[in-house]
Amino acid sequence: MNRKSFARTAIAIILVIAMGASLWFSSPIPVKAFGISLSAANSPISGNTTYLLGEKISIPANIQFNALETKDFQSITLNITGPESFIKTLPISPGTYQYTDVPGTLDVVVSWDPGIGAYRYGYGYGYSTGSGNISYSIQWTPPYTLTTPPPPPPPALPGADFRFDIQMPSSDQTTTGATLDYPQGLAYSANVTPSLLHILLPANYWDGTDYRDIIVKTDLQGSYDSFIAAPGKNWETEAITFVGSTLYAAYNEWDSTTFTTKGKIAKYVSGSWSTVVGLSNLNPIGGLASDGTNLFIAYRDELRIDKRDPTTGAQITSFDLSNAWGGSTGPGPGPMGPPIWGFDALAYSGGQLYAAQGDTVIIVDASTGAMSDEYKTGLWSTRGLTFVSETFSGVAYDILYLATTQYPGKVYRASKPGAVPTVEKTPIGNYTAEFKVVANGTIYTESDNFTLTKLTDAPSVTITAPTQGFAVAAGSENITVSGYINDPSISSVTVGIALPEVTAFQDDVDDETATNAKWQHSSVSGMMQWGPPYSSDDLWHRSNVRDHTGSGWSWRYANASTGTYETPGYANAGVLRTKDPISIGADNTLTFWTWYDSELDFWPDRKLVEVSTDGSNWETVAWLAKFWPPFMPPDITQEQYDALYFVPERTWTKVEVSLADYAGEDIYLRFHFDTMDDIGNNYEGWYIDDISISGAGFQGQAVAVDENLQFSTTFTLAEGSNTISVSAKRTNYEPKLTGTASVSGSLDTTPPVITLNPVTTPTNQPYQLISGNVTEANFDRLEIKNNGVLKWSTKVLGTGNTFSQSILLSEGDNNIVVEVRDKVGLTANVSATIKLDTTGPVFEDVFSSQYDVAYKTGEFSARPGDPFFIALKVSDNASDVAAVKLVIPNTPESNWASAIKKSDLPEAVIDSWGFTSATKAAMNYVIPMQLPSGTPAGNYSWTVKAWDTAGNSSNITVVTKVVTTLEAFNIYLMPGWNLVSTPVIPTTDNITTLTANITATGLFERVWYYDASENATADKWKLYVPGVGGDLTTIEAGKGYWFKMKDLAAFTAAGKVSGPMATGLPNTPAPVKLTITGQVLQPGAVVPPTYTVYAGWNLIGLHSENPLPVSTALNSVTVPQQKWGSLLQYLNYISFPMERDGTPEIDLGRFDRLISTDTMQPGRGFWLYMVESGTIVP
């Protein structure tokens, strides 16, 4: 649709009148020809001749003259007929005219073609060729409400509108002796012609047989028609109703035989009453009703309703309502029992019975007898109910009529709850537009029809700019918001944003001009119908007697001159209400401060806070009082009871009332005071101050809607997310609804934020999943590059603004960059380097092979149970080495022996394991192992496996030599004195040869041996000095030797120390290893040696490759009789356990006495004191 053509163009009436009159002759000549043509234009909104309320209806019309024609015009009129009708005389002279004396507005533009003019005999076309027109551009804008609005419908129960006072001519009243103040019943039937309202009145009318009550007939406005006698005597007739077109009446008659009152029912046929036999012996009756076929009888003194056949009186069903309020018999609802004890009136409509007593009306299901609702009308002593079918805007509704005993008796009307008639107040409907021209006495007319309708849904709002998801950068905060609506009755829209806290209404009452612009006040009819009359005095006014802050003004209900709200002899009631509606948002709260001095109970001097969505029907949202009962009183509704607020008297109190039930609606607010009586009103009154309504709401600016129903404005965005809403509120007619539309976007001055999930690097997998999430409201594109090359791009993020993509890697370093761009061009990036490594670690050949093995005990081999140590140098050029392990067959990988980084071991520990200096320098990993027991002799192959951090692995085979007996033995010499021995018989016993390696260290000083034999010289000590020689020339098994090494300082100078074991300790000496090759015993035809020991001290050794108990090693000098007296060893060693968390043993030079239960270790020397000579057998 072209919105620019969305104009108020409508019916085009082209009236062509050909008139034959020469402009050049002195007298008229006959009309040569004429014709009238008409065309109706379609509404640009509907596309046909149906127009919306608010549109301008265009009615272009033309009067066409042929050449040299004139016409004398008597009148030119526009006649509009329909729900609104008018006739308007139109001008003929060119010009622009506007008329407001018609319903709505009529705009007329008259224009003449060239050649049209006023001539001697009227108006015409002066050219001799062609034709000319007088053109009318007519636009009618209908009013939004009918010039003569229809009467409003009655309110729904419990409300009721006064209809009329019961009246009859004084002559008839005198004749009948009727009491107009006490109507006893109502009846109406549309099946009777004429259909009149029947009102039962107590009377003293003599019908020739007795004095009777009467039934007055009136129309529905109370105009008197006639009366008939009732069947009951004076004050006996209780109720009337129609069954179809037959009138029935119930009367209660005293039975002098049984001394009881009997209820009876009679029907009116052919001008006389006859009692229905089956309905002549009932309990006292209070009300009658009918569903058109059956009678319903409500009893006066019991809560029971019967359904009976109106001909035979047979009972069809009976409803016991005594339990409808919980079954109690007390005078009140719930725990206090029912609020009524019987019924005085009854009516039927749509399957429901309406029963009344006092001002209580209950609704009962006519089929089940279940009570569904209870209402307090405030109309005390309701004595008659009936339903009348009335039509409102073409729709029929059942309207409840109520008769009450007042002065005079009155009739009220009420709508059924939830079924208040809808009254059409707008001029919508079908219309005829007639263009009428009277010329030379001849009438020319042309007409066309159109329909005026209205929208019943909320207005439609369309935002064309900006679009959903818009994003603008800094410097573009001011954006254009434009669009269109579909409701021509709306002249402006509101453009703005939703906010969590908006003040919808506020008044501190201090500014007189401002507060008077917001409020209006007046007296109103009181809620107490049967009490004293109400004063018309309006007692609401601004007052500076009291206010909440102590220095301003407040609204007060009281007489400003007397200082109280007393109106002697009258009750009084008044309301203070807002003039304009207030838009309510979500969870809005009404807050005000109040002070009052009045009666404290809730019932009199009522102080109500009320809300209305239409300005007519009000709901109580707060009822202020100091005292109220703990249960719902019988004369107020549950809704009113729930609205009670405790407010203390004579102190300013803040009151907060939730308006959440009215979210999204426009409301009026009012404060309502009602004395309910004319006594006890000499108090100071009620004050209201600092009134506000606030909560979540909408804040915006009004923007005009042009004739094409379009709007446009500039809106300033806030930083971040913005939801721009446009609301169009229909206020000119019902339903008054609001349509909204919104678009969300943002003012984006912040670059995107990228969170990159951790990557795996290094890796041996060629594809890597790059994933993460993006924080950006205006996301546009994400790209992933590898080493500058685009690998992936997307404009769509996953759930939760995530991204995920596998990227192919290249061998080596991969520089992954993730870049995000938003819709305003801001970018951000994050990067990660991933190393692709597909080659396993390298075992470097820096030893004699790719590994070296140190046998701590046997130097060249190990026995089962002996420790050995594998030295490795493992590297990886692309990644780091992650782990090195010795594979143990048939064992989970988690239990394989792990290599230890050299850097993680104390140097002293490494030194104690017997590696050469070259191996120690070259290796970076070591695997401590102990040869498993039961390992067979020979070469044993181990697999060592290494992994890098990329997950690659490689392995080598390590071969260890396994022997069953020692073929060499290592002695570890510490600084100072070392008392040692060899457990093997040396292959060569030459001391110079045996000590050549330790001599090369420069740390070896000498060796002493004590010769205790009888053949020894007087100087029993034998000495060897390296490089010098001496009388000690051999080292033999079974003997002990003192090796003297240089001190710690010399060791330190020679580099034979490692770092301290702990802070504060000295450097740890590295032992000097003395290796003696040989065998424990010689195989073959060789007798094992024995060793003679002599009385006194002997230096001995342990000729055993295994530790032995002293008692075993010295068994030959102990059994049968111990020949030795003392055994000493000299401890100078550091021993580190195989376990990482084991405790080292450190003894740096001390003697230790051994007893028979102690253990002698191989490699150690001993002082043995013999009591007598003997022989030690290995």
Phi/psi for 541 (5° steps) reads -165, 160
Residues 6+ apart with CB under 8 A from 1139: none
Residues 6+ apart with CB under 8 A from 1083: none
Which pLDDT does position 1017 carry in this prediction?
64
Q: State yes or no: pLDDT of 286 exceeds 50.
A: yes
- Composition of the chain by helix, strand, coil, percent to 5: 5, 50, 45
DSSP assignment of 1002-1038, as one string?
A: T-EEEEEEE--STTS-SS-EEEEBTTTB-S--B--TT
Rank 294-298, 529-533, 721-725 by mean pLDDT and report only the highest.
Answer: 294-298
Cα(523)–Cα(570) distance, integer angstroms: 13
Residue-wise pLDDT for 726-771, tens only, equals: 999 999 998 989 999 999 888 888 899 999 999 999 999 999 999 9
Q: What is the pLDDT of residues 290-307, one digit of tens each?
A: 999 999 999 999 999 999
More confident residue, 697 or 25: 697
Q: What is the pLDDT of residues 921-940, one digit of tens each?
A: 999 999 999 998 989 999 99
Reported as a pLDDT band with limits 50, 70 and 90, residue 40 is low
The owner of tokens 């003395």 is 1074
pLDDT beyond 80 at 239: yes
Q: Averaged over 330-358, what is the pLDDT? A: 80
Find out whether 821 and 781 touch, Cβ atoms under 8 Å. yes
DSSP string, 841-890: -EE---SSSS-EEEETTTBS-B-TT-EEEEEE-EE-SSS-EEEEEEE-TT
Same CATH fold assignment for domains 234-415 and 461-491+705-748: no
pLDDT bucket at 7, cuts 50 / 70 / 90: very low
Measured CA to CA, the distance from residue 873 to residue 843 in angstroms comes to 6
Angle at the Cα of 952 from the Cα atoms of 947 and 957, rounded to 5 degrees: 55
| Residue range 479-527, pLDDT digits in tens | 999 999 999 999 999 998 877 788 899 999 999 999 999 999 999 999 8
DSSP assignment string, 346-396: EEEETTEEEEEETTEEEEEETTT--EEEEEE-S--SEEEEEEEEEEETTEE
What is the CATH T-level fold of the domain 842-962, as seen in this structure?
Immunoglobulin-like (2.60.40)
**pLDDT tens figures, 57-101:** 989 999 999 988 888 999 999 999 999 999 999 999 999 999 999
pLDDT range class, residue 851, cuts 50, 70, 90: very high
Distance CA 237, CA 230 (A): 7
In degrees and rounded to multiples of 5, residue 1164 shows phi and psi of -95, 150
pLDDT, residue 722, reads 84
**How confident is the model over 751-761, as pLDDT tens digits?**
999 999 999 99
In the predicted model, is pLDDT for residue 869 greater than 70?
yes
Q: Residue 645 — pLDDT band, cuts 50, 70, 90? A: confident
Give the Cα separation of 826 and 776 in Å (integer): 10
**What's the pLDDT band for 334 if we cut at 50, 70, 90?**
very low
Return the bridge partners of 444, or none: 437
Q: What is the mean pLDDT of residues 273-279?
A: 94
CB 293 within 8 A of CB 243: yes
Q: Which fold would CATH assign to domain 461-491+705-748?
A: Immunoglobulin-like (2.60.40)
Q: Quick check: 811 and 838 in contact, CB under 8 A?
A: yes
- pLDDT digit string (tens) for 1037-1071? 999 999 999 999 999 999 888 877 667 777 889 99
The answer to whether residue 1030 scores a pLDDT higher than 80 is yes
Pairing outcome for strands 116-119 and 122-125: antiparallel
Question: What's the confidence (pLDDT) of residue 630?
Answer: 66
Beta carbons of 332 and 634 less than 8 angstroms apart: yes
Question: Phi and psi dihedrals of 493, rounded to 5?
Answer: -120, 165
Neighbours of 1162 (CB within 10 A): 21
Query: Confidence band (pLDDT; 50, 70, 90) for 1016?
Result: low
Q: What angle do CA 1081, 1084, 1085 make, to 5 degrees?
A: 105
Return the pLDDT at 8. Answer: 31
Nearest-angstrom CA–CA distance, 895 and 892: 5
Instruction: Say if residues 644 and 588 touch (Cβ distance below 8 Å).
Output: no
Nearest residue to 625 via CA among 674, 661, 669, 692: 674
Q: For the segment 585-628, what is each residue's pLDDT rounded down to a tens digit?
A: 888 999 999 999 998 777 789 999 999 998 989 999 999 988 76
* CATH tag, 502-693: 2.60.120.200
Question: Domain residues of the chain, as ranges?
Answer: 3-148+429-453, 234-415, 461-491+705-748, 502-693, 753-836, 842-962, 970-1176
Task: List the CATH code of the domain at 753-836.
Answer: 2.60.40.10
* pLDDT-derived band at 162, boundaries 50, 70, 90: very high
pLDDT at residue 3 greater than cutoff 60:
no
DSSP H helical segments within 130-246, as ranges?
170-176
Task: Find the distance separating the first CA and the last CA of the chain, reported in whole Å.
Answer: 121
Cα gap 546→544, rounded to integer Å: 5
User: From the CB of residue 34, how many other CB atoms can be counted at a distance below 10 Å?
Assistant: 19
Beta strands of 749-801 (E only): which ranges? 753-756, 767-775, 779-786, 789-794
CA dist 286 and 340 (Å) reads 13
Written as one letter, the residue type at 518 is K
Q: Strand, coil or helix: what is 752?
A: coil
Cα 1178 from Cα 1175, distance rounded (Å): 10
Going 1083 to 1043 to 1001 to 904, the CA torsion angle's sign is positive
CA–CA distance, 1043 with 979 (Å, rounded to integer): 6
Give the mean model confidence (pLDDT) for residues 1110-1126. Answer: 95
What single-letter DSSP state applies at residue 334?
A: G
Question: Which tops the pLDDT comparison, 404 or 10?
Answer: 404
36 has a pLDDT exceeding 70 = no
Are the beta carbons of 565 and 685 closer than 8 angstroms?
Answer: yes
- For residue 567, the 8-state DSSP code is B
Q: What is the DSSP letter of 627?
A: B
Q: What type of residue is 661? A: D
pLDDT value at 881 more than 70:
yes
Query: pLDDT tens digits, residue range 428-482?
Result: 999 999 999 999 889 999 899 999 999 999 999 999 999 998 888 888 889 999 9
Half-sphere exposure of 566 (CA within 13 A, CB side): 12
Q: What is the C-alpha separation between 333 and 207, in angstroms, rounded?
A: 45
Greater model confidence, 403 or 666: 403
CATH fold for the domain made of 234-415: Methylamine Dehydrogenase; Chain H (2.130.10)
Among 790, 855, 794, which residue's Cα sits nearest to residue 820? Answer: 794
949 Cβ contact list (under 8 Å, min separation 6) = 762, 876, 879, 880, 881, 882
3-state secondary structure 1118-1161: CCCCCCEEEEEEEEEEEECCCCCCCCCEEEEEEEEEECCCCEEC
Least Cα distance to 572 among 552, 598, 543 occurs for: 598
Task: Tell me which residue of 200, 298, 25, 145 sits closest to 733, measured CA to CA.
Answer: 145
Confidence of residue 634 (pLDDT cuts 50, 70, 90): low
Does the pLDDT value for residue 1140 go beyond 80? no
pLDDT tens per residue, range 833-847? 999 999 999 999 999
Report residue 839 as tokens.
Answer: 């080659």
